[in-house]
Structures are given as structure tokens and as C-alpha cells.
Amino acid sequence: DAKTTQPNSMESNEEEPVHLPCNHSTISGTDYIHWYRQLPSQGPEYVIHGLTSNVNNRMASLAIAEDRKSSTLILHRATLRDAAVYYCILRDGMEYGNKLVFGAGTILRVKS
Amino acid sequence: NAGVTQTPKFQVLKTGQSMTLQCAQDMNHEYMSWYRQDPGMGLRLIHYSVGAGITDQGEVPNGYNVSRSTTEDFPLRLLSAAPSQTSVYFCASRMGQFRAWSGYTFGSGTRLTVV
């Protein structure tokens, strides 16, 4: 499985934008970039995914580097509810089952 | 829609006992999977299924059995519980056997303690 590298933790102020980075220098052409988050005492929650182009949805934006070796999850205005562990995961579209394999993720702390 | 429903939410077992963790989804998702999450660690894949009648092992399958007789249900069986199986268990499902772009829906988890 292609690997991702994320900072262990980040801190943000409430109402400010947050940029969560992810490095995936060994990404293949068939890998999709997925982001999930896990709030305390809950199951993971799908946030967003992309392949080559930047993506927006109601939760966040995903900016993908032109060479696809890195990406950034953008929360436009952090709230206390956004405090969670954020996982950047690659899923191979050519792999049987294209499993979701979790790493350690980034712990996001939001200060009021 | 209920999404992914896991039962029970909490369970205490004695070493050597067996039990089944239930997982049901009402979204007609082909793919279902089980994860465990130990304190301070990420989720690890136990078993997965790409459709009814098809199951495969994940990263940590030892001590667990699964079957998939219907699209909706994917139970996880602990054959002989051990303290090392104390963990939080999550069931997840998604559309499509081979759609790498489809998002997963997770259940709220079962917290299992083996004494």
C-alpha cells in the first residue's frame, strides 16, 4: 500500500481556517486520496476524496498538488466540533477490494 | 435510514467465552468490513467482504471468523475470547465492490472488554 505522512498534531483557533497537510510521495496513478476524521468516542466519518483535481464539499476542500505527491485538507472556519483525528488515506482503484488502511492521522485541537 | 448499526454497544466477556458482534446496514452496500481500534492506535482491518458469500482476511484476522450470507449483515465471531481482544470494534460499509472513490459509512462501535 502506498504510504502517507501526516503531522502528529496541529492546533487551530476557532473561526479560523485550518490546513491539514499530507505527503504521499509514492502515490500511483490509480490511487484515490481520501480523508476521514474521527471525533472522540465515535466511529470514523468520511470527509472528502479526490483523484487529480481540487474538490469542494459542504464539510471541507481538498487541494491536490499538481504532481499528486501531496495534498491539503482545508477546513474553512474551524469550530470546536472539528476537533478530531484526521486521516489521509490512499485507496488503489486497481487493487482487489481497495481496502481502507488507516495510519496514525493528525490530532487537530481547536482553541476557543 | 439507520446507516450501519452495531450491537451490542458494550460487552464484557470472560477469557475463553465466545460471542458474535452484529453489524447490519440498510444502504444496500456491497462492501462491508470490520476494524478494531486499540487505545492510542489507529484502526486495523480484521476481515472484509466484497459481497454476499465472499469474505477475505485483513491485517489482523486471527481469533475472528466472519460470514456474509446476506447483503445487509456481516457478523464478527470471537471464537475463544482473549484479553488481547479487548478493543473497540467498528463495522463499516460502502457502495460497490471495486469503487475506489466511494466513501465508507462507519457504525458507532462496540466496546469489548475481555477479563
On chain B, the residues whose CB falls within 8 A of the CB of A92 are: 100
Rounded Cα distance, B92 and B104, in Å: 6
pLDDT tens for each residue of B62-90: 999 999 999 999 999 999 999 999 999 99
CA count, 13 A, side-chain hemisphere, A59 = 13
pLDDT tens for each residue of A8-55: 999 999 999 999 999 999 999 989 999 999 999 999 999 999 999 999
| A86 and chain B in contact, CB less than 8 A | no
- Rounded to the nearest angstrom, the minimum Cα separation between A11 and chain B is 19
The backbone torsions φ and ψ at residue A69, rounded to the nearest 5 degrees and listed phi first, read -85, 0
> Which residue out of B34, B99, B104, B111 would a mutagenesis test of the A interface target, given it has the greatest number of A Cβ atoms within 10 Å?
B104
Pairing of strands A106-111, A9-13: parallel
Q: Who contacts A26 (Cβ-Cβ below 8 Å, separation ≥6)?
A: A2, A3
Contact indicator for B92, B107 with CB cutoff of 8 Å: yes
Rounded Cα distance, B115 and B107, in Å: 25
Q: What is the pLDDT along chain B (115 residues), one digit of tens a residue?
A: 679 999 999 999 999 999 999 999 999 999 999 999 998 788 999 999 999 999 999 999 999 999 999 999 999 999 999 999 999 999 999 987 666 678 899 999 999 999 9
| B10 and chain A in contact, CB less than 8 A | no
Amino acid making up residue A54:
N
| A36 and chain B in contact, CB less than 8 A | yes
Q: Who contacts A97 (Cβ-Cβ below 8 Å, separation ≥6)?
A: B31, B48, B50, B56, B97, B98
